[in-house]
Amino acid sequence: MNTDDRRAISREYFSRERLAEHHFRSFNAFLGRGMQEVVDEKATIETDIGDKEGEEPVYVELGDIRVVTPRVREADGSEELLYPQEARLRNITYAAPVFMEMAIIKGGFEEEERVVDQTETKIGRMPVMVGSDKCNISGFSHEELIDIGEDPADPGGYFIVNGSERVLMTSEDLAPNKILAETDTKYGDQIEVAKTFSQRRGYRALVLCERNREGLLEVSFPSVSGSINFVTLVRALGLESDEEIVHRVSDDPEIVKFMLENLEAAEVQTTEGAIEALGKRVAAGQGKNYQLKRANYVIDRYLLPHLHEDGVDEEEVRINKAYYLCRMAEACFELALGRRDADDKDHYANKRLKVSGDLMKDLFRTALNKLARDVKYQLERANMRNRQLSVSTVVRSDVLTERLEHPIATGNWVGGRSGVSQLVDRTDYMGVLSHLRRLRSPLSRSQPHFEARDLHATQWGRICPSETPEGPNCGLVKNFAQAMELSQHVEDEQTLKQELAAMGVEGIPGVESIEQPADD
């Protein structure tokens, strides 16, 4: 292929999609779907108003959320569309007002539930990415961009907060909801550990299943100090008999042998006994009732939260958790017997990227929670002072705005990460493009981390092998390859499950399998 042909192909390839397309796709998905999902998760804001005698309970129902394009309101009150160049020059934030439908509902005890007030109110301002769907210059032609003061070659993909352009750095994480097995040393011995980062709606829990020195399996998960015996936990989740447990782990004779050892050393034999033992563990020294309640709460809330789904009921979820734990145990044993290699944490199949939309979603979730807490407080106060409850007097828009703008402005994100948002590197055009296509690893810069910094074979075609900084960040800060495309994760599994069920897969939890009509 000669140079001219290659140039033609290159030009055609790069004229299709914008160079920072992953930013746009992620943020547009956040604006279109992500925000509404977060609001639907929250659904209502409860108050303590109905708890006293003679008062009806009051709660707020959250409805549809809507974002318009960025505008600026001057001191004299007039409102105009805001364009990025004006935001840069005037040192204001390129943000758009966010409207949400809220309904205050009173009643439930003596009276019927009735809607006290229902309106769509402005709840704050959301910073908008330059060039995204809700940006005022999206879809502008070359000449229109020049007229409005923008550089037509500017790739966009950054936010403008207080006049400074900020990029949200894409960060690299271990894939959630996957079983990763590795060996570890504890007290000098080698033990096998199976880990899973179970993630659901912003809450990320590390669940460990390890095989200790005596060969017994132990499970550890958040809110429970230390580890719990595997057999006890699996019994508490509903898997009682020895045969079932062994069958669910594996049918391989050697593994069966290990499992029988575990079962012999088991402390409990029934589900009720297991839950009692768990209760004594998580709520030591409290009454029996409270122990049982707390044990159930901990199992449902903190153990493998990703297995909870909307269409599935609670008992099935528990059994699924038991099956999942058995699979983790199987991974441990296979690793011990050498049938399975330890999972490579640097293999790109085990990694996921968090792009700007995902980061904004986490931020929006905490901001909405803070707003909800404030609304609850305002409602209780208004009720105490015997005032008319109305949506417009109960919402404080600066709470949400500040919670969204401040992390982008400073780089300190929820979850304690810092350096997430950076000033766009405007040294030259190539600098801008490189900055937008950068990838950051959360590992600490001061540790050696030899394997993480190495070039891995799976980076072929995805990550540039040569573009990485020298010095302490070497290998931890990476850049996208030229032809790299990022796939998107859609959290709604219902459509996928229904498709699979339609194709004939049986036994999917939450979906009734379609009866195949008889051929005659």
206 Cβ neighbours under 8 A, 6+ residues apart: 195, 196, 197, 198, 221, 222
| C-beta of residue 207 within 8 angstroms of C-beta of residue 226 | no
The 3-state secondary structure of 330-397, one letter per residue: HHHHHHHHCCCCCCCCCCHHHEEEECHHHHHHHHHHHHHHHHHHHHHHHHHHHHHCCCCCCHHHHCCH
Nearer to other proteins, 301 or 381 (CB): 381
Cα gap 411→440, rounded to integer Å? 14
Q: Distance of CA 355 to CAs 37, 100, 151, 368, 445, Å?
A: 17, 25, 25, 20, 21
Q: At closest approach, how far in Å is the CB of 276 from other proteins?
A: 24
Between 259 and 379, CB nearer to other proteins: 379
Nearer to other proteins, 80 or 491 (CB): 80
Query: At closest approach, how far in Å is the CB of 401 from other proteins?
Result: 7
- Whole-Å CA distances, 391 to 159, 221, 384, 386, 426: 30, 41, 16, 15, 44
Q: Which is nearer to other proteins, 36 or 393 (CB)?
A: 393
Please tell me the distance from the alpha carbon of residue 69 to that of residue 195, in angstroms, as a whole number. 44
Of 384 and 430, which has the nearer Cβ to other proteins? 384
Name which of 452, 164, 181, 107 is nearest 343 in CA terms: 181
* Rounded-to-integer distance, Cα 463 and Cα 439, Å: 9
| Minimum gap (Å) between residue 73 Cβ and other proteins | 4
Residue type, 139: G
Helix (H, G, I), strand (E, B) or coil at 294: helix
**Contact criterion met (CB below 8 Å) for 119 and 392:** yes
Alpha-carbon span 105 to 114, nearest angstrom: 6
| Residue with smaller CB distance to other proteins, 116 or 256 | 116
Q: How far is the CB of 78 from other proteins (least distance, A)?
A: 4
**Nearer to other proteins (CB atom), residue 401 or residue 479:** 401
Residues that bind other proteins (CB under 8 A): 73-80, 122, 225, 381-382, 387, 392-393, 396-398, 401, 416, 418-419
Closest separation between CB of residue 377 and other proteins, Å? 9
- The minimum distance between CB 79 and other proteins, in angstroms, equals 5
Task: Pick between residue 235 and residue 440 the one whose CB is nearest to other proteins.
Answer: 440
Q: How far is the CB of 26 from other proteins (least distance, A)?
A: 26
| Cβ closest to other proteins, residue 78 vs residue 466 | 78
Nearest distance from C-beta of residue 18 to other proteins, angstroms: 31
Pick the closest to residue 438 from 477, 410, 473, 401 (CA basis). Answer: 477
Q: Least distance (Å) from other proteins to the CB of residue 119?
A: 11
* Rounded CA separation 454/347 (Å): 11
